[in-house]
């Protein structure tokens, strides 16, 4: 029996990070869409991404980019997905620029400036200062808000799926007005990661893996739930709450990790899991709650232009990156596992898709290569939208 709380749409998307927003933008204007988010629309981990977004620079870059991604993932990556992501990267960047996203360029010739991060064999990362995620997500959100066919519901939490004879037909959600039954031809899960389940995480605390729990409830295939990435460098604080990320690109530009005696103890550009393990080992050896990150090799001009927000936040915590080392500690950062999806972001349940950190399409393997997350989310969100259109 249907009530006033029942709504019919073509597509419902749970989550307003880059994957949810991009999926909505890639669907045609004649499709009625509802986007929901558990908090306000800007409180997604996509907004927090600092370092940048990877891109295949040219044809000669393909093999090394592929190998860097596979090596970082301990060769447990799905090769087909990695190839799709890399081959799609240039078109994704062009689409972002068309929407209004701005990346750093050389003022003299207008060409892109690329930076390098840990485990990359060459610079291939585009960035916008140290707030690349904010630049991309805010731009996409602005575009979505301008679409007449999309309704965006903030502070609306998904509590269940609507299932009929083994097929997904929408979701049940709750907000201050009560319970809402959103019936949809296709449902896209884009609820982000699981950092809210951890004491120390770079994620927003409301990101608790809701879609993962619902998928498990209905027997939707899951994959690699134990593949959790720890980011090596977050700003140490004795205070509880979300940890502030010190971007991988800071080390990519030359920052060094020191022990309590200000001695270097690790190659800072190794994959994240290796660097994090080395830091944990050094902390135990030193009897310290953190190690030190020194930016003394990075020119002041680069720090102020490339990392202005990191510099500002460290100052607020009492540390001047231009004059002293800052204390850093590893924290939960990214979830490589999730709801299993195929190359078109389809789950094992008909009419149910998963994108972004909620999904596991195999790109990241056992350990994500730095700055692949934004690209992967956008590539496979677009593929989800394309598949929805093909099968309607």
CA pseudo-torsion sign 244, 246, 248, 249:
positive
Q: Are strands 178-189 and 6-14 parallel, antiparallel or unpaired?
A: parallel
Strand order across the 291-294 sheet: 228-235, 326-335, 291-294, 256-258
Structural element, H or E, at residue 273: helix 272-286
Give backbone dihedrals phi and psi of 92, rounded to 5 degrees, phi first: -60, -45
Report helix, strand or coil for 147.
Answer: coil
Residue among 388, 322, 329, 320 nearest 354 (CA):
388
> How far is Cα 196 from Cα 39, in angstroms, rounded to an integer?
13
If phi > 0 it is left, if psi is from -120 to 50 it is alpha, else beta; for residue 125 that is beta
Per the DSSP assignment, residues forming a β-bridge with 161 are 171
Are the beta carbons of 325 and 293 closer than 8 angstroms?
yes
Q: Which residue has the tokens 């002293």?
A: 324
Known catalytic residue: 221? no
Residue 246 tokens read as 């010190």
Q: What's the token pair of residue 311?
A: 């510099």
Strand partners, 6: 181
Listed in sequence order, the residues at least 6 apart from 90 whose beta carbon sits closer than 8 Å to its beta carbon are 55, 56
Q: How many CB atoms lie within 10 A of CB 290?
A: 21
Token pair 């200000």 is at which residue? 262
Residue 85 tokens, joined: 């992501």
57, 124, 251, 272: which one is catalytic? 272
The total of other beta-carbon atoms located within 10 Å of residue 285's CB is 11
The two structure tokens encoding residue 292? 């030190």
Supply the residues annotated as catalytic: 272
């Amino acid at each position: 029996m249907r009530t006033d709380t029942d709504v019919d749409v073509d597509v419902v998307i749970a989550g307003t990070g880059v994957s949810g927003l991009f999926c909505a933008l890639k669907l045609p204007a004649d499709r009625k869409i509802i986007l929901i988010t558990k908090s306000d629309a800007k409180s997604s981990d996509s907004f927090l991404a600092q370092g940048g977004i990877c891109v295949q620079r040219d044809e000669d870059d393909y093999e090394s980019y592929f190998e860097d991604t596979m090596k970082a993932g301990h060769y447990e990556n799905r090769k087909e997905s990695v190839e799709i992501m890399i081959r799609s990267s240039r078109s994704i960047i062009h689409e972002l620029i068309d929407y209004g996203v701005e990346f750093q360029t050389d003022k003299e010739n207008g060409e892109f400036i690329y930076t390098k991060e840990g485990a990359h064999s060459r610079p291939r990362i585009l960035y916008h200062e140290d707030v690349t995620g904010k630049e991309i997500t805010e731009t996409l959100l602005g575009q979505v808000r301008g679409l007449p066919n999309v309704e965006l519901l903030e502070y609306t939490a998904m509590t269940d799926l609507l299932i009929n004879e083994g097929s997904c037909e929408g979701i049940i959600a709750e907000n201050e007005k009560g319970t809402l039954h959103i019936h949809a031809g296709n449902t896209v899960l884009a609820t982000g990661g699981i950092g809210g389940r951890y004491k120390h995480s770079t994620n927003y605390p409301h990101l608790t893996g809701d879609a993962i729990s619902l998928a498990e409830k209905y027997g939707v295939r899951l994959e690699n739930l134990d593949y959790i990435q720890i980011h090596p460098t977050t700003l140490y604080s004795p205070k509880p709450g979300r940890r502030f990320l010190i971007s991988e690109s800071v080390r990519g530009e030359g920052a060094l990790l020191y022990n309590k005696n200000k001695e270097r103890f690790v190659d800072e550009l190794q994959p994240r899991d290796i660097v994090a393990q080395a830091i944990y080992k050094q902390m135990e050896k030193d009897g310290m709650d953190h190690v030190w990150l020194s930016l003394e090799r990075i020119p002041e001009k680069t720090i102020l232009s490339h990392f202005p927000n990191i510099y500002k936040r460290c100052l607020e915590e009492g540390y001047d990156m231009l004059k002293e080392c800052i204390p850093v500690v590893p924290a939960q950062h990214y979830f490589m596992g999730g709801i299993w999806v195929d190359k078109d972001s389809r789950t094992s349940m008909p009419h149910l898709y998963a994108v972004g950190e909620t999904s596991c399409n195999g790109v990241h393997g056992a350990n994500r290569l730095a700055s692949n997350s934004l690209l992967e989310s956008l590539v496979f969100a677009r593929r989800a939208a394309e598949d929805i259109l093909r099968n309607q």
